[in-house]
Structure 1
Amino acid sequence: MNVSIKIYYLIWVFLTVLLSPPLTSCAQHRNKETISINGKLEYLTNEDSVNFTMYDSQSCTITSSPTLKTTRRINDGKFNFVIYDIKNPHHLDIGLPMSDGSSRSTRFLIEPGDSISISYIKDDFVFEGKGSTKYSVANTIYKSMLKIGSSKSSILDKMKRSDSLAMRCFEVLELNKHNLSKEAYEILKMDLIADITLRKLIHPLKYHSLSNEEVITVLNNYENPTWNRKLENEIKFSKSLTYSFQYVYFLLEEFKYYFCQKNEETYSAKKCYSYFYRTYSGVQRERIIFYLLKYSINGTENTDELVDRALLWFKNPKYRQEILDFRRRSLPGVTAYNFKLTDQNGKTRHLSDFKGRVVLLDFWFTGCKNCIDAHPYIDSLRTLFKNRDVAFISINWDKTKNTWLKSVSSGLYTATTTTVSTINLNTGNTGDKHPVVKNYIAGSPGAPTFRLIDKRGKLLLNPKDPRGDKGVDMAAKIEAALK
């Protein structure tokens, strides 16, 4: 080898070594993208299992399906769960068996690099390892949340008690702030604000569990220490907002059921769109309005104009595609999805079998308390429209046939028998992943969900949940469709 070639070779070797990353950096990168959760609970047997359901907090899909759902069997009281290639915060539901035979599901915030060990000491879960502070805080908050709104005193006393519990939760978060990443702290704070205010204030207003007098008292005399416009302004520019889907959902619900009522305004999706478009900007505004359209696109209002406006400025291509896809199959006037399902007698049914009749679809699952609460109103409508061209189709998404049939027989969720005007259907072992659910429900499958279809098989504007107005809107929309 001549001298010049040797020199070039040495230079090449030198540059290769100099510019190559250290061997440890790849391993470090992999560790940062991995989450490990293991536990040893002495009371568990090999018959037990732990359920893990993970949600991408920045998911753009309109169905908001879990990105991962799995079960780990117990082996000698131990379990282990590892997730690879995690690049941003997620939310993880962990379903753990309890020592008394019951089960408990708790939602945790997880970050790349977490390495958690779970044990059970003195009747409580203990979390140790890298990132464990988030889990300990979430566990403390979970136990406090169970007490929110449980008092039977006056409405203002009930609110004050809830506020006292809430402030303790915020204190726990603040005390542990130095052991949390800035992002984790902000996300946990937003999740906490959302969870507390939804439980103690928004849901009672939404589901009419307060008397008219209590509503007036709350709107005129209650000052919320855990949420106000000043706090909203402090948070609105945080990038972490895009990771807390609970907080985004809360913002929309708060505007609808508190802000509008307090200011004696009638809610509309258009008014909500204008408010958040005006008061937010950037990715935060896009995230909020995407979810507004997600929850409104097959709601009780025509949102076609709002969708067109949003598509002019949406930058996220996934948001655009999801909205376009769902609009193509879910807006009023679109031909309704022609499902194929089996009724309780084993007969195959299609939506097309009911052409020439107005159809009300009622989606539910066993254990859904809201479905039980809504059923008496649906039952009254069945009586009201008896012997008219209306089909009441109950669609259940229990995966187990026996569970479904037992619930049908109970009469709590639907009529006990399939007749000419009342049809009980089930999605089989696909559960809420069946195409009928995907095609009729925008967002995470929730129940009860109602869809109205005209005599030609076209989608109509959705009726309001009958729990809110005792079925008045639903009856009016069915009557109008019969003409």
Structure 2
Amino acid sequence: MTILLKEKIDKAAIILLFFIFCLASHPSIAQANGMVTIRGTIKELKDGDSVKLIRYQYPFLLESHDNEIISYAVVKNNSFIFNISLHQKVEKCRLIFPEYLNHLNWQDGMIAPGHHLNISVKENRLSFSGQGAGLLVYNRLLDSITSISGIDRQGKSREKNFEIIVANISKIENIKNQVRSNDDAFSILRLNKTVGLVSTLYSIAERNDLSGKKFMQKKDDELYHQYLKGIFNNIQITSLPIVSISGLIRARFGCLYPKKQNESKLARDKAYITYLKANFKDPLLAQVLASFLYDNRNTDLLTQDYIDWIIKDTDFSQYNSLLKGIRRFSPGTLLPEFSLTDTLGNEVSLSQFKGNVLVLDFWYTGCFACVRTYKIIKPIIKEFEGKPVKFISISEDKVRDVWVKSIHSGLYTDPQHINLSAGKMGNIHPLFRYFQINAYPTVILIDKNGKIIGSPRKSYLDHGMDLKNKVQHSLDENL
């Protein structure tokens, strides 16, 4: 890596850049292979405990929560070690320690093939050294020089927002000239930061009124030729977190083609898919379509025919696990047999409720959105009393006492309702894995014949109207 210094570089940036140079000046190591070594020595760790390394950059590629775990490491002599092979150029990860050290959990980790990283604790905080630490420092440097403080997120100061974003992108380009490395990981971080900045402009405008969208329509040609064309054609684009690039593309679509009055979600989504296929090619096209499918899983829109139309003429081979998972819980699919545990410790099968429309409400203790949703669902439960509808509360809580206490609090459910738990398995219970539950609350409807209906619109967005309508529609269909 070569570092060129210019007079106008901030003194703090120089120090950080020098630190990066010291930590990441061995590109030959980074190119050697896809292996990553992560070592940790933490005196508070107990022998026999396990530390987990979890991938979360590409969750939609995976069939279950279990598969998000990259590796386990067993603690010995207060130390642990991971030797793993990566297939992506940069992966975001989480390092999960035992519960008594969960204040040390590393939530925003970054690892790249060929890097090594040493972890220790200083002043009750994680400390990093080794080549991989250079990537972390570089990311912090990018964050520090591209602050978007001063951005008007209401979207009224449009010209000012535009100037701030463009100025920050210029800073990234300046850093690119200061720090040169043949390690792809560094250029991927720069690309991701640029995508995030441009996405901010479109996202604010998309949430704004029509005048905000019109402003971005005028600026779009300039942004496209200066930044977007290069971003979309960059061979490293599919190495970015999918939420970054798909978020940018969706927000830009929303600005260029504002939603029509009374346009349905299905019509809007089809217009978006058509736009994607007309403007992008594989592998980026397949990745963004995969993101769309993942975001819309469990909804009643993703029928088998609709899925086939979405992926038609696209190389979806990389996303077979996603496709398999989504197809198995598309509307009309018969729900397999699953059993959970009630408050008395009895095993309860969902099939015993066949003949009723089921409303499965997945939650966990401490989930504020779950509390908010239950307030809306509670009166709906009363509306359907005496009808063949069963509202079933399903908790992820692993600790029984915590779960039971939450039931009696009345915040998440009611003691008189059907309350079931995944038990010690938590979110790796087969039912949670089947529906790929990783966001809460999640509400899923099953018809009288045990077939999946899908998820209603989030209750707090429409006061539960979509939930009521879907339940009533299912009852009417089965009269």
TM range (shorter): 0.7 to 0.9
1:265-276 mapped onto 2 (5 Å cutoff): 267=265, 268-276=268-276
2:455 corresponds to which letter in structure 1? Answer: N
* Structure with max Cα Rg: 1
Give the corresponding residue for 1:250: 247
1:305-324 mapped onto 2 (5 Å cutoff): 305-320=305-320, 322-324=322-324
Quote the Cα distance in structure 1 between the aligned partners of 2:174 and 2:122: 24
Give the corresponding residue for 2:438: 445
Kept after mapping to 2: 8 A contact 1:298/1:330: yes
1:122-161 mapped onto 2 (5 Å cutoff): 127-139=128-140, 156=156
User: 2:458 matched to 1:460?
Assistant: no
1:19-418 mapped onto 2 (5 Å cutoff): 32-39=33-40, 45-46=44-45, 51-55=52-56, 57=58, 60-63=61-64, 65-70=67-72, 73=75, 79-89=79-89, 90-95=91-96, 102-118=103-119, 127-139=128-140, 156=156, 171=171, 175=175, 178-181=179-182, 183-189=184-190, 191-192=192-193, 219=213, 229=224, 231-244=227-240, 245-251=242-248, 254=251, 261=258, 267=265, 268-320=268-320, 322-324=322-324, 326-327=326-327, 329-412=328-411, 414-417=412-415
Kept after mapping to 2: 8 A contact 1:86/1:112: yes
User: What is the count of residue pairs matched by the alignment?
Assistant: 438
Kept after mapping to 2: 8 A contact 1:395/1:426: yes
- Cα 1:449–1:287, aligned 2, differ >3 Å: closer, same or farther? same
1:409 corresponds to which letter in structure 2? Answer: H
- Secondary structure (helix, strand or coil) at the match of 2:92 reads strand
Query: What is the TM-score normalised by the length of structure 2?
Result: 0.73
Quote the Cα distance in structure 2 between the aligned partners of 1:252 and 1:300: 24
Give the corresponding residue for 2:428: 433
Kept after mapping to 2: 8 A contact 1:398/1:431: yes
Cα distance, 1:295 vs structure 2 = 2.9
Kept after mapping to 2: 8 A contact 1:297/1:303: no
- Cα 1:29–1:189, aligned 2, differ >3 Å: closer, same or farther? closer
Kept after mapping to 2: 8 A contact 1:408/1:416: yes
2:232 corresponds to which letter in structure 1? Answer: K
Quote the Cα distance in structure 2 between the aligned partners of 1:393 and 1:371: 14
- Secondary structure (helix, strand or coil) at the match of 1:430 reads helix
Quote the Cα distance in structure 1 between the aligned partners of 2:325 and 2:82: 34
Cα distance, 1:233 vs structure 2 = 2.8
2:414 corresponds to which letter in structure 1? Answer: T
Quote the Cα distance in structure 1 between the aligned partners of 2:362 and 2:257: 29
- Cα 1:320–1:402, aligned 2, differ >3 Å: closer, same or farther? same
Give the corresponding residue for 1:469: 462
Kept after mapping to 2: 8 A contact 1:466/1:474: yes
1:416 corresponds to which letter in structure 2? Answer: D
- Cα 1:278–1:349, aligned 2, differ >3 Å: closer, same or farther? same
2:304 corresponds to which letter in structure 1? Answer: D
Deviation per CA, 1:308-364: give whole Å up to 9, x if none.
23554343435346424541x212122123321112232322222222221111112
Cα distance, 1:458 vs structure 2 = 1.5
- Secondary structure (helix, strand or coil) at the match of 1:415 reads coil
- Cα 1:477–1:369, aligned 2, differ >3 Å: closer, same or farther? same
Cα distance, 1:411 vs structure 2 = 2.7
Kept after mapping to 2: 8 A contact 1:269/1:301: no
Cα distance, 1:66 vs structure 2 = 1.0
Give the corresponding residue for 1:482: 475
Cα distance, 1:285 vs structure 2 = 0.9
Deviation per CA, 1:113-171: give whole Å up to 9, x if none.
112234667897654332432211334677999x9899999775799799969976984
Deviation per CA, 1:418-475: give whole Å up to 9, x if none.
x3xx31211122221222122223xx62222221111221212431111221211111
- Cα 1:215–1:276, aligned 2, differ >3 Å: closer, same or farther? same
- Cα 1:252–1:235, aligned 2, differ >3 Å: closer, same or farther? closer
> Which shifted more, 275-284 or 189-198?
189-198
